[in-house]
Chains A and B, each alone.
Chain A
Amino acid sequence: MSKLIFERSVPGSSAFSLPEGDVPSVELQDSLQGFLRESDPPLPEVSEVEVVRHFTELSTKAFGVDSGMYPLGSCTMKYNPKINEWAARLPGIAGLHPDQPEETVQGALELMYELEQMLCEITGMNRYTLQPASGAHGEMTGASLIKAYHEQRQDFRRKKMVVPDSSHGTNPATAHMLGFELVEVRSNERGLVDVDDLCSLMSDEIAGLMLTNPNTLGLFEEEILEISKVVHEAGGLLYYDGANLNAVMGVARPGDMGFDIVHLNLHKTFGTPHGGGGPGAGPVGVKEFLVDLLPIPLVGKKDGQYCLDYDVPHSIGKVQSFYGNFGVMAKAYAYIKALGGKGIREACRHAVLNANYLRHNLSDFYEITYDRLCKHEFVASAVRQKKECGVTALDVAKRLIDYGYHPPTIYFPLIVDEGLMIEPTETETKERLDGFIEAMQEIAKEAKENPELVKEAPTNAPIRRVDEVTAARRPILKWK
């Protein structure tokens, strides 16, 4: 157990000093009378060496892609190239104030301009806003665009948003945030959108359909062109949740599938690290007819100079204070430049190969709900283990920790019982994949022969399983 930084505090310790002041000191009681706090905020007082040791110790209790295989489904935990970290820290990238005169940030604007063009090419869309700071933020932007589109056409009946029953939680949450009424479309026995059900839901109240393709089961929506036709004929728009773009990039494009709006997760598909929860970036691309609605500003080019373009006639406004997570954009830009057109397709092919290799080798030991060709991920299930030995998906996940792997995403999508959603990504070697297969086989065996071992797991981690119930019932959310 690590002490809290507050528990390392020794009054009088300090790790910081300012240069000698060369302007007159000020009597705060005069200049700030009535506005001063009575005492300093209770922050820890720690020496520099102890701060460094503290956070170094904490880092040893964290697990990243650099620590080992991280097959966390839907999150695309691929290797994050180190040159990109270097690039984002350059003074000419990290040291720019967002309100500097345009002539002093031409390189930054060029980077954004080019990134937008590359994203357009990869997805088959016409323009992008780079402003949204995460996938869900991109969804919020996209759903605002859908709302604005219908409103602009004086079509105020379109209050319903359709999402599949397999959709990610951010899709319904976003639709609700924008005031849409939620309608769920069923998945059919093949794990795909049930097109008959979709047809029966269509009416002049439908604003749009939010879809992930391949979907959250890792399956390509083979009837996407039909789906697109159905939604568009009903007057709705088609929204692409780009969380799974890694599965098709360089091979097929959402723009060609009929999607009107696309959000991407640069922190999944384009190799930027996830930082223990963020920052990410969720650029939103649209077809030509929606460009006038995009958030301001866009990045433009006039007389050979790059500029911020605030002239977007029917803009929905702003979703972030400035232009988006520029530092993340710089990394994604470097990633795409490194791979080039061919490399992007290679990355996709290898991601799909690795996923199918795992699926193929795990299907003897775990039920795979939709056991056929998958894309970048698939969903295995521990139903068999649960029924036969009382071992759940959670137990399997926890036992994987003992074997040195980050667990897959569990219990998602909701339509699979005891789901284990596995996404290896393209950056795992065959040796790693084989090791993972072996561990999963071993766990299946343990579940039969020694289920307690699996249910007790992990035993080889900094802590054992935690009491989540008490955490939620009597929440302690800060140091006293």
Chain B
Amino acid sequence: MAYTPNPPQVVREMLGSMGLRDINELFIDIPEELHLNRELDLGESLSELELRKKMNELARKNVSIDDCPCFLGAGAYDHYIPAVVEHVLSRSEFVTAYTPYQAELSQGVLQSIFEYQSMICSLTGMEVCNASMLDGGSSLAEACSLAVDATRRKKILAAGTINPRYLKVLHTYAHGKGIEVATIPDHDGLFDADEMIKMIDKDTAAAVIQFPNFYGFLEPEIEKIEAAVHKVKGLLIIAVDPISLGILKSPADWGADIAVGEGQSLGNPLSFGGPYLGFFAANKKLMRRVPGRLVGETKDLDGKRAFVLTLQAREQHIRREKASSNICSNEALCALAAAVYLSIVGPKGLRSIAVRCHELACYARSRLQDAGFSLYQVPFFKEFPVRLSDPLAANSALLKEGIIGGYELGDALLFAFTEKRTKKEIDKMVDVLKGVQA
């Protein structure tokens, strides 16, 4: 396939009009010794028919969540995606547009981002939300970086129950910027709040908590942390699962200054880890420090409501090294998916999804408890770990029965329950586990 539309005689005509004969004359500014002078070794070009076959072949070498019920979560979730989401995301005016620099030509993109920002504010209770970050982990890291800049302090206290991958990303960003990250140890699935409170002092830029935490548990001491960190004028950062916000208290309810998280659950496919949607929301005081694009409402010359990229003095293309972040491209299309998803499910639908996830998880837990498995006695939302003598063997046994099992934690498997799971699937999963453990 070639996607270059000009046939050879047109190319010759264009060259001729510039007084050139050979297209290679356009490359004489590249020093002779740098010319590759051979064809790249990438194989022959494929026709669309061959390409379709090739991609189908690759796809068929994978087992997809369409083939097997999936109990994996740990930061990426198999929630249902309504057909309308995919439909809107196939509108090529959205798909093939660039960042909406030119407002007059981009009102559709700008308005959809404005609606997305509004919806994330509704969910989190925060006052400002940006147009998206690269994923949940980088969003958390950027929140810490903002806290360090805003407080002019260097120390971040992170709960040990935060998704370990987020912590890894945070450490990479922190090392670059010279931020100190202290991870607070955890016991039995919850971080040691007393320890965190002991460590909070005048050098603390922020305390960071995930809710529900990585193990699916609900941290019970957020109020105490909030009071302690705000007392020293540090910030409270909370990472949340947006689906949980259908029923659970929002970051604003807990007094958070910044709310971040992974928005993949909101209408974006699992896609082996990306593209995902980092969301980033903050209170109004931090507005002028927020990283990335912000869409604002304004008027055009005729007084008509219009939307535009705003507060750009924070951004790299204006401020260069003084920008609040280096982010340029974001995950706009994933944010659009989230906006369409939330429009479709609405407040009642989101609540019903959250409740169903929780009910399925509660059912699974009671079945596992009845079967004598070792479980933590801690409130959870849609995910919890099950201690097993041989988690790897358990996952293999599940796979043999056509079930994608849990996330391996060492001595346990972490199981997630989305609204797509059924009683029958859970019963089967529990039975297989019983067989392995016996």
Q: How many Å lie between the Cα of A24 and that of B359 in the bound state?
A: 7
Residue in B17, B63, B138 whose beta carbon sits within 8 Å of that of A320 in the complex: B138
Taking CB atoms, residues of chain B closer than 8 Å to A412 are 317
- A104-B63, A136-B328 known; A172 and B137 CB under 8 Å? no
Q: Which residue of chain B has the shortest Cβ distance to A37 in the bound complex?
A: B249
Which chain B residues numbered 104 to 134 have a C-beta less than 8 Å away from chain A? 104-109, 111-115, 117-119, 121-123, 125, 127-129, 131-132, 134
Partner of B94, one of A36, A62, A178, A464: A62
Asked whether A94 and B105 contact (CB < 8 A) given A18-B356, A275-B332, A277-B332, the answer is no
A45 neighbours in B (Cβ, 8 Å):
346-348
Which residues of the partner chain B approach A271 to less than 8 Å between Cβ atoms? 3
Determine the distance from Cα of A338 to Cα of B423 in the docked complex, in whole angstroms. 45
The answer to whether B410 has its CB under 8 Å from any CB of chain A is no
Rounded to whole Å, the gap between the CB of B437 and the closest CB of chain A is: 19
A177 lies within 8 A of B177 (CB): yes
Contact residues, B354-405 vs A (CB, 8 A): 355-356, 358-360, 362-363, 379, 381, 395-396, 399, 404
Q: Complex Cα distance A81/B298, Å? A: 36
The answer to whether B247 has its CB under 8 Å from any CB of chain A is: yes
B295 interfacial by beta-carbon distance below 8 Å: yes
A347 within 8 A of B: yes
Let me know if B112 and A95 touch, CB within 8 A. no
Q: Interface residue count for A (Cβ, 8 Å)?
A: 197
Q: Which residues does chain B contribute within 8 Å of A220, judged by CB atoms?
A: 29-30
Could you say which residues of chain B place their CB within 8 Å of the CB of A344? 40, 42
Residues of A within 8 A of B117 (CB): 477-478
Q: A233 to chain B: closest CB distance in Å?
A: 19
- Which of the residues B2, B87, B326 comes within 8 Å of A174, measured between beta carbons? B326
Contact A52 B88 (CB under 8 A): yes
The reply to whether B61 and A471 form a contact with Cβ atoms under 8 Å apart is no
Q: Taking A15-B346, A323-B272 as contacts, is the C-beta distance between A463 and B46 under 8 angstroms?
A: no
Residue among B76, B91, B92, B104 having the largest count of chain A Cβ atoms under 10 Å: B104
Given contacts A16-B345, A121-B42, contact A478 B1 (CB under 8 A): no
- The segment from A199-207, A324-332, A445-453 that touches chain B is A324-332
CB–CB A340/B97 < 8 A: no
A110→B58 contact, CB < 8 A: yes
- A/B pair count, beta carbons within 8 Å: 693
Q: With A59-B94, A323-B274 given, is the CB distance from A51 to B84 under 8 Å?
A: yes
Would you call A96 and B325 a contact (CB within 8 A)?
Answer: no
Separation in Å of the A369 CB from the closest CB of chain B? 16
Q: Which residues of chain B are near A337, meaning CB under 8 Å?
A: 42-43, 45-46, 51, 54
* Chain B CB within 10 A, most for which of A45, A89, A168, A475: A475
Given contacts A107-B59, A462-B107, contact A26 B362 (CB under 8 A): yes
Give the docked Cα–Cα distance between A98 and B310 (Å). 35
A48 and B21 CA atoms in complex are apart in Å by: 58
Which of B274, B310, B346 has a CB less than 8 Å from the CB of A13?
Answer: B346
Q: Flag if A94 contacts B104 (CB, 8 Å).
A: no
Asked if A278 contacts B132 (CB within 8 A), the reply is: yes
Nearest-neighbour CB distance to chain B for A258, whole angstroms, equals: 10
Contact status B246-A25, CB under 8 Å: no
A26 touches B76 (CB 8 A): no
CB closest chain-A residue, reference B320: A172
Report the separation of the CA atoms of residues A475 and B287 in the bound assembly, to the nearest whole angstrom: 9
Given the interface pairs A90-B59, A134-B330, A144-B176, the reply to whether A341 lies near B122 with Cβ below 8 Å is no
**B172 smallest CB distance to A (angstroms):** 4
Contacts of B331 in A (CB 8 A): 133, 275, 277-279
Is residue A362 within 8 Å, beta carbon to beta carbon, of the partner chain? no
- Pairs of residues from A and B, 6 with the lowest C-beta to C-beta distance, nearest first: A322-B273, A92-B59, A277-B332, A107-B61, A275-B333, A64-B96
